[in-house]
Amino acid sequence: MRRQEREDPSKARPVLRELPEDQLKQILADHRVWLESDGQRGLKGNLSHAQLQGLSLWSADLREADLSYARLQGADLDHARLRGANLRHAQMEGASLWQASLRGADLSFAGLQRAKLDHADFSGANLHKTDLAGASLWGAQLSGARLGDAVGLTDDQLKNAHLA
pLDDT, average across residues 154-158? 96
Q: Helix (H) and strand (E) counts for the chain?
A: 3, 2
- Residue 5 within a domain: no
79-102 pLDDT, tens digit per residue, is 999 999 999 999 999 999 999 999
Separation CA 159–CA 98 (nearest Å): 17
Q: Which residues contact 158 (CB under 8 A, 6 or more apart)?
A: 137, 142
114-140 pLDDT, tens digit per residue, is 999 999 999 999 999 999 999 999 999
Whether the pLDDT of residue 8 is over 60: the answer is no
pLDDT of the residue at 12: 54
- Residue 7 within a domain: no
Structural domains counted in the chain? 1
Instruction: State the pTM of this model.
Output: 0.89
Owning domain of residue 147: 45-164
- Residue 82 within a domain: yes
pLDDT of the residue at 164: 81
Residue 85, domain CATH:
2.160.20.80
- Residue 143 within a domain: yes
